């Protein structure tokens, strides 16, 4: 019974992976059910029963999530191009669907996103992925690395995690104006609190970009700091790197007690090596660093 369930889950996981890898392709029922090797006459009900939303709805949400990220973070793409990538034949059809889902037009969202309805809209998508897309980490996935110190510019986020996307948008705009492109200037997140602290207002995270140059704040609250050097346990996470809490819990709960190591007096942090939507979500890469004595 257990082996049969695992096989079923593997086939369903393969479907989600295929959809996320082929958002620009024709994802009709014949194609998607064939990936899972299930009968197309039953697959739509199986998918809905497993994930809580239909195949069509999942594809819509995945495409709309990419479109909303492109609007918020990629100024070089125009709305028509984003609409076509999202599977709409015309910008006005995309605008209607976007407004219905988020309460804003695409152009309004690009200028000043309202992130609260955005977060609510993608709850079903995140829930579907979390059911079967959990990564199982082992001690073999962790390496110990000697890290060199990195001077950084820091934008602090203080407040509920739900307001973090607005800080990220400001951070991206600031570093773009400062000429600190991710391909040449490394990106770090430093966590000073849990992912979901109580109360949420106590959430604290630093958005950092590696630079040794003199920092021009350009109206933002930017300060200089450093990612310290020293020994670190490093865990590489590939795909769906928005939520690194499971990886952090693995390091603290399983790897650290078994390793005989002790954590150093600096918060856990990550380096973002690739970013959605510049790459598909399943190709995003982050490395989690646990500083050691």
Comparing C-alpha atoms, which of 269, 18, 235, 20 is closest to residue 126? 20
Q: Are the beta carbons of 118 and 68 closer than 8 angstroms?
A: yes
Domain interval for residue 248: 139-291
The stretches of the chain forming alpha helices (DSSP H) are: 2-21, 29-36, 40-51, 55-73, 79-85, 91-102, 106-111, 115-121, 123-132, 164-177, 245-250, 256-259
Question: What Cα–Cα distance (Å) separates residue 256 from each residue in 16, 186, 194, 232, 252?
Answer: 32, 26, 17, 11, 5
Model confidence, pTM: 0.86
Number of domains present in the structure of the chain: 2
Q: Looking at the structure, tell me whether residues 96 and 125 fall in a common domain.
A: yes
Here the tokens at position 52 are 């809580």
Specify whether 95 is located in the same domain as 154: no
Same domain, 208 and 231: yes
Instruction: Indicate the residue among 132, 150, 171 that finishes a domain.
Output: 132
Instruction: At 26, give phi and psi (nearest 5°).
Output: -80, 110
Neighbours of 189 (CB within 10 A): 20
pLDDT values of the chain reduced to their tens digit, one per residue, 293 residues: 678 888 888 888 889 889 988 998 989 889 999 998 889 888 999 999 998 999 999 999 999 999 999 999 888 789 999 999 898 988 999 999 999 999 999 999 999 899 889 988 998 998 888 776 677 899 999 999 999 999 999 999 999 998 999 999 999 989 988 999 888 999 999 999 988 887 889 999 999 999 988 887 777 889 999 999 999 999 999 988 888 999 999 999 999 999 999 999 999 999 999 998 888 888 899 999 999 99
């Amino acid at each position: 019974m257990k082996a049969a369930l695992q096989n079923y889950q593997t086939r369903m996981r393969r479907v989600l992976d295929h959809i996320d890898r082929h958002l620009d392709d024709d994802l009709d029922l014949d194609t998607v059910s064939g990936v899972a090797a299930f009968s197309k006459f039953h697959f739509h009900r199986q998918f809905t029963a497993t994930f809580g939303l239909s195949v069509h709805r999942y594809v819509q949400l995945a495409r709309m999530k990419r479109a909303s990220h492109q609007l918020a973070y990629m100024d070089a793409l125009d709305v028509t191009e984003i609409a076509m990538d999202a599977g709409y034949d015309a910008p006005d059809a995309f605008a209607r669907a976007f407004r219905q889902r988020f309460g804003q037009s695409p152009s309004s969202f690009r200028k000043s996103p309202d992130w609260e309805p955005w977060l609510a809209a993608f709850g079903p998508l995140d829930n579907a992925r979390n059911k079967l897309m959990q990564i199982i980490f082992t001690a073999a996935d962790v390496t110990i690395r000697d890290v060199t110190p990195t001077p950084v510019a820091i934008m602090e986020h203080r407040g509920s995690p739900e307001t973090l996307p607005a800080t990220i948008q400001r951070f991206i705009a600031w570093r773009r104006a400062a000429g600190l492109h991710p391909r040449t200037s490394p990106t770090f997140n430093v966590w000073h609190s849990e992912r979901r602290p109580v109360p949420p207002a106590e959430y604290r995270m630093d958005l950092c970009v590696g630079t040794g140059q003199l920092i021009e704040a350009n109206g933002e609250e930017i300060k200089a700091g450093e990612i310290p050097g020293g020994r670190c346990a490093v865990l590489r996470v590939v795909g769906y790197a928005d939520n690194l809490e499971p990886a952090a819990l693995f390091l603290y709960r399983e790897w650290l007690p078994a390793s005989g190591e002790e954590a150093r007096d600096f918060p856990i942090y990550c380096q973002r090596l690739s970013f959605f939507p510049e790459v598909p979500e399943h190709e995003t890469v982050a490395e989690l660093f646990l500083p050691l004595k």
